Every structure is written in structure tokens, then in C-alpha cells.
């Protein structure tokens, strides 16, 4: 998802009583451990998408990223428009900043994303539109881009979102420059090329609105079965987890993840947030906390769910208000870096030793 502008009104719209309740709830939690310490005990990675500008300019932001998470995802700086702003000219400097930060803080890095229909540079989309980039050219460009980026970060990325958001809600192939020129062959190609460039990285398909069983998630299930039957090196499926309290929680998420698990695939929750129509009240924050807990519990109940990543942790830098008018307050921390009930719910879910899903003795793969 694209980074939104800095939110300025999200939690200012909450009453003082609600804010104090959130702070008091967290301060009364029974454990003092960080999320990353609790996650380590469960054998899972707990991650956040990172705004690299905020990482450099906001010391409080940088402190929470390092203290609370053992996995980080580049929110924008590994996307094509940043990495290859002109043909064959690569700029990895902003992403390298995040990778160095992660190494200093003993964190692992999820790569996001090698192929998407959004945030592409103008030279690429314009070239396809005016016909100066042919189908053969486009395939070569994609091969070069994936090889260059994955090779640059070889050994430093534990999971790549190789192909992002390629299906429509009805399960058909999304109309994009890729499908227009290459049909659906680019999906298998992208995975093969990424694997050639770094054979040890785990390679994922990633999408939203696949948390529940239905046309879209069924189509992904069929797609990964077909790709694996062809020997395509796909390792996992990412369930983004962009929820909204206006809609029912996807109560079949664990069952849905289990069927992908049964295919021998890893799973991850990759972009979790839970947006709220503003102003948010205490009941809204309680519901939000329940949704976060439910998504994490589904991951913990799935044998090969390897990571749970939130799409930004503070409302101060959320993409939601800039994308969903009148909505916000979607993250674990408010704009002032105060933990919300959602933070407590995630911590409590990690700390809880449920029968059959306790200590896993290190990272799950």
C-alpha cells in the first residue's frame, strides 16, 4: 500500500477519557516484555512497515521500531519508482538505510515489492502506453529489474513480496501493463528470476481481501497449486490484513490460512491495520483491538505462518486518512506514540500460551 500524508487529526478527535483509558490499559498489562521479545518466545517474527524518512527524522519513531519489532518492511523505498527511476539506473540508497538499521537492531527484512501495478516510474508506464516498449522489451526490463534488485539485497532479505495484488475481487487477472503485454506468464517468470538471484530468500504472493474464503482467495489457492505443479519456486502467500471495523471480522481466516499451509506453503500477515470511521470512541478501539488479536491468533494457529507485520505502527504516519476519507486511527500507537488497546491485545495474544500452540523453539519456516 502507498504511504499516506502525515495524519494530523486522527487521535485528536478522541476524547481525553478514551485516550487515558488506552494508556492505563497498557500500563496495567501483566508483562513488561516488548512485542519482539514476546514474539521470539512464540517462534514468530513481529514486524512493521517503515517510513525511512521518519526513521531518519523522528527519534521517537526510530526508537519504537528498534525496541518493538524484529522484522521490518520498506513501506515505499523498495518499490520500482524509487529503485529504478530511469531505465537501468538504480538507486538503492534509501532502502540500504533501512537494511543497515535492521542489521544494527538485529532485525530481519521483508522485501516489498518486486512487481506491482502501482508506483511504477513514468518512463515505464509511458513507454508501454505509447508502444515504444514492446512485449519482448517489457519482459526483458522486468527480468533486469528483478535480477538487479534481488541480487543487490542477496542474503539480507528473508522474504520477498515478489508479485503484489495481481488478481481482481472476482479472481480474474488484474488489468495492468503486465497482463496487457505478457498475459499471466509474468507471474511464474518473476518467481523464477527472483529465485535465481537469491535462492535462499522466501518468495511470496501478496494481496488484500483474501483473508476470507471466496472468489479472490479461491483463485489464489488455484494459482499457487498450478504454479507449484509447474515447479515455480513460490514459497508463501501474504494476507495483507487491511481491515475496517465497519465490516465483519474475517472469522474464517485461520481456516483459510490452513488450506494454504496444507499445500506446503508458508503464510504471513503482511500489512495489518484496522481503520476506524472518525471520531473513534472507546468501543471502536475495543473492536479494533479484537481484530488485531484475531488476525494474530489466526497466524499463531497456522503451523507455517512465519510473521505478523503491521502496516505502520503509529497513527502519526498512517496511509489511511489520505486514502479513506473520514477514517483513520488504524494503528497500534496513537499520534503521540501512546500504545492503544490494540497494542495490549497484540502483546497479550503473543504472551498467551494456548494449548498446542505454545513455544515453538525459534523461528518457524
Decide if 11 is inside a domain: no
Decide if 89 is inside a domain: yes
Residue range(s) defining the domain that contains residue 239? 16-351
The more confident residue out of 111 and 15 is 111
Distance CA 273, CA 292 (A): 7
Cross-strand pairs, 108 = 71
User: Given a cut of 60, is residue 110 above it in pLDDT?
Assistant: yes
CATH of the domain at 150: 3.20.20.80
User: Given a cut of 70, is residue 28 above it in pLDDT?
Assistant: no
Confidence of residue 261 (pLDDT cuts 50, 70, 90): very high
**Residues with catalytic roles:** 165, 271
| Contact present, 173 and 179 (Cβ < 8 Å) | yes
Confidence of residue 32 (pLDDT cuts 50, 70, 90): confident
Distance CA 41, CA 307 (A): 13
- In this structure, is the dihedral angle defined by the CA atoms of residues 153, 155, 158 and 159, taken in order, positive or negative? positive
Number of domains in the chain: 1
Percent of the chain exceeding pLDDT 70 equals: 88
Mean pLDDT of the chain: 91
pLDDT for residue 17 = 36
DSSP 8-34: SSTTTTS-HHHHHHHHHHHHT-S----
Confidence of residue 31 (pLDDT cuts 50, 70, 90): low
Cell numbers found for residue 20 = 487515558
Distance CA 171, CA 129 (A): 25
Decide if 29 is inside a domain: yes
User: Given a cut of 90, is residue 26 above it in pLDDT?
Assistant: no
Decide if 365 is inside a domain: no
Decide if 360 is inside a domain: no
From 203, 204, 113, 100, select the one nearest 156 (Cα to Cα).
100
Decide if 55 is inside a domain: yes
Mean pLDDT confidence for 315-340: 98
| Contact present, 269 and 241 (Cβ < 8 Å) | yes
- 140-156 pLDDT, tens digit per residue, is 999 999 999 999 999 99
For the whole model, what pTM was predicted?
Answer: 0.90
| Contact present, 274 and 342 (Cβ < 8 Å) | yes
What's the burial of 305, exposed, middle or buried (CB within 10 Å: 0-12/13-18/19+)? buried
Distance CA 184, CA 187 (A): 6
pLDDT for residue 356 = 41
CA distances from 96 to 74, 109, 271 (A): 10, 11, 21
Decide if 10 is inside a domain: no
User: Given a cut of 70, is residue 297 above it in pLDDT?
Assistant: yes
- In this structure, is the dihedral angle defined by the CA atoms of residues 144, 145, 151 and 152, taken in order, positive or negative? positive
User: Given a cut of 50, is residue 298 above it in pLDDT?
Assistant: yes
Vertex 64 angle, CA 359 and 335, to 5°: 120
Decide if 7 is inside a domain: no
CA distances from 263 to 72, 213, 254 (A): 27, 16, 15
Which long-range contacts does 80-84 make (Cβ < 8 Å, 24+ apart)?
80/116, 80/119, 80/120, 80/121, 80/124, 80/145, 81/119, 81/120, 81/121, 82/119, 83/145, 83/149, 84/121, 84/145, 84/148, 84/149
Q: How far is C-alpha 136 from the chain's CA centre?
A: 31
CA distances from 359 to 42, 68, 91, 315, 353 (A): 5, 19, 41, 31, 8
Amino acid at each position: 500500500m502507498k504511504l499516506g500524508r502525515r495524519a494530523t487529526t486522527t487521535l485528536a478527535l478522541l476524547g481525553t477519557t478514551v485516550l487515558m483509558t488506552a494508556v492505563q490499559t497498557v500500563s496495567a498489562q501483566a508483562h513488561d516484555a516488548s512485542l519482539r521479545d514476546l514474539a521470539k518466545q512464540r517462534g514468530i517474527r513481529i514486524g512493521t512497515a517503515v517510513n525511512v524518512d521518519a526513521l531518519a527524522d523522528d527519534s521517537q519513531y526510530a526508537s519504537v521500531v528498534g525496541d518493538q519489532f524484529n522484522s521490518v518492511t520498506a513501506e515505499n523505498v523498495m518499490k520500482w519508482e524509487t529503485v529504478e527511476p530511469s531505465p537501468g539506473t538504480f538507486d538503492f540508497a534509501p532502502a540500504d538505510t533501512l537494511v543497515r538499521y535492521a542489521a544494527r537492531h538485529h532485525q530481519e527484512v521483508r522485501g516489498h515489492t518486486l512487481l506491482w501495478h502501482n508506483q511504477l516510474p513514468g518512463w515505464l508506464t509511458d513507454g508501454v502506453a505509447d508502444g515504444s516498449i514492446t512485449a519482448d522489451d517489457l519482459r526483458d526490463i522486468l527480468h533486469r529489474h528483478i535480477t538487479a534488485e534481488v541480487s543487490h539485497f542477496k542474503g539480507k532479505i528473508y522474504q520477498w513480496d515478489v508479485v503484489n495484488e495481481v488478481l481482481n475481487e472476482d479472481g480474474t487477472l488484474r488489468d495492468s501493463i503486465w497482463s496487457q503485454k505478457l498475459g499471466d506468464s509474468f507471474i511464474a517468470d518473476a518467481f523464477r528470476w527472483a529465485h535465481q538471484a537469491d535462492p535462499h530468500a522466501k518468495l511470496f504472493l501478496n494481496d488484500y481481501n483474501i483473508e476470507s474464503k471466496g472468489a479472490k482467495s479461491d483463485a489464489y489457492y488455484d494459482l499457487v497449486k498450478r504454479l507449484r505443479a509447474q515447479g515455480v519456486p513460490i514459497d508463501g502467500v501474504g494476507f495483507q490484513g487491511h481491515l475496517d471495523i465497519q465490516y465483519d471480522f474475517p472469522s474464517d481466516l485461520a481456516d483459510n490460512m490452513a488450506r494454504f499451509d496444507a499445500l506446503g506453503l508458508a503464510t504471513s500477515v503482511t500489512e495489518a491495520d484496522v481503520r476506524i470511521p472518525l471520531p473513534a470512541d472507546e468501543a471502536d478501539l475495543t473492536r479494533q483491538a479484537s481484530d488485531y488479536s484475531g488476525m494474530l491468533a489466526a497466524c499463531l494457529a497456522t503451523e507455517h505462518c512465519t510473521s505478523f507485520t503491521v502496516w505502520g505502527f503509529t497513527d502519526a504516519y498512517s496511509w489511511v486518512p489520505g486514502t479513506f476519507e473520514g477514517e483513520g486511527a488504524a494503528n497500534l500507537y496513537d499520534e503521540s506514540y501512546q500504545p492503544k488497546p490494540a497494542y495490549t491485545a497484540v502483546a497479550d495474544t503473543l504472551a498467551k500460551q494456548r494449548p498446542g500452540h505454545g513455544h515453538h523453539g525459534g523461528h518457524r519456516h
